Amino acid sequence: MRSLSGSVSARALASTGGRRFILRSPAKINLFLAVHGKREDGYHELTSLMACIGLHDEIVLSFEGEGIRATCSDPSLPTDQRNLAVKAADRYFEQVGLLNVGLRIHIEKRIPIGAGLGGGSSNAATVLRGLDRAMGHLLGADRLSTIAEILGSDVPFFIRQIPSLAEGRGERLTPYPHLISYPLVLVNPGFQVSTAWVYGRLKMGLTNCAQKLKNFPFKNQPFDPLYMLCNDLEAVTETAYPDISAIKELLCSQGAIGALMSGSGPTVFGVFGNRQTAVKAFDAFQRYRKPNWRCWLTDLVVEPPGEGD
């Protein structure tokens, strides 16, 4: 990728004039995740249906000081170069040909870390989107997606934030317009799970979502949570952590059409046919949940974000 001319980038940076940008960084869930095998590059070949949800972090970008500095409301999240949001800012300024830009990134964390909800990937994409908006859309979504692919498999999805069928290692995205805004109840059991750990213990002979994909290929077909929910990673994580099975059973007993672990876990979501049933289920979990469980009542997001998001 070629960087922009220094004069164009400098003028765009000058226009930010110390402004602050407050951005929503949404979580995602995997409504379907089939793993087809390991690739030569070390990643796994997969097919996944991803959608954003109402749960989000808040990111504040401020053009001030010297260099890129990050802070976070959750002290367990690294704020140095290990943080994807910092890496994203570095990549963006490198692409537009700017050095030594003063940027402050504050992440108000609401999405649990290591939860299968894509919080880190979303933060990175939100920083890319926010910087490009601040700089007058110098790059645009296509070039931002190219940068995002370098940062991580889930990051490109969060550039456009629309329900999509992800293929390859997750970077090949096809918009999926046949999804409705189902009410959801999310339950996180209060611990983190390493994605690498889960994939490292996946036994391909025990996966079954590819077979479902043959029966429900998604092409011009509405998503039906009663039949289509599937995640090949779920068996690995729930074998080690029985809370996942317990949460799924409780969600279904409270009226969920279906329940599934998102990504590599451990967060579980229940899909509900109407808001009233979802509210009752959420209230029940609030009363009877274990002390370390966290619960959210939210919805699938099926529309692209507005300019201010």
Q: Which positions are catalytic?
A: 28, 154
Cβ atoms within 10 Å of 115's Cβ, excluding its own: 23
302: three-class secondary structure by DSSP: coil
Q: What is the Cα–Cα distance from 262 to 268, expressed in whole angstroms?
A: 6
Cα maximum dimension of the chain: 61
* Three-state SS annotation for 60-111: EEECCCCCEEEEECCCCCCCCCCCHHHHHHHHHHHHHCCCCCCEEEEEECCC
C-beta of residue 301 within 8 angstroms of C-beta of residue 212: no
C-beta of residue 77 within 8 angstroms of C-beta of residue 83: yes
Find the length of the chain.
309
Sign, Cα dihedral of 133, 22, 144, 302: negative
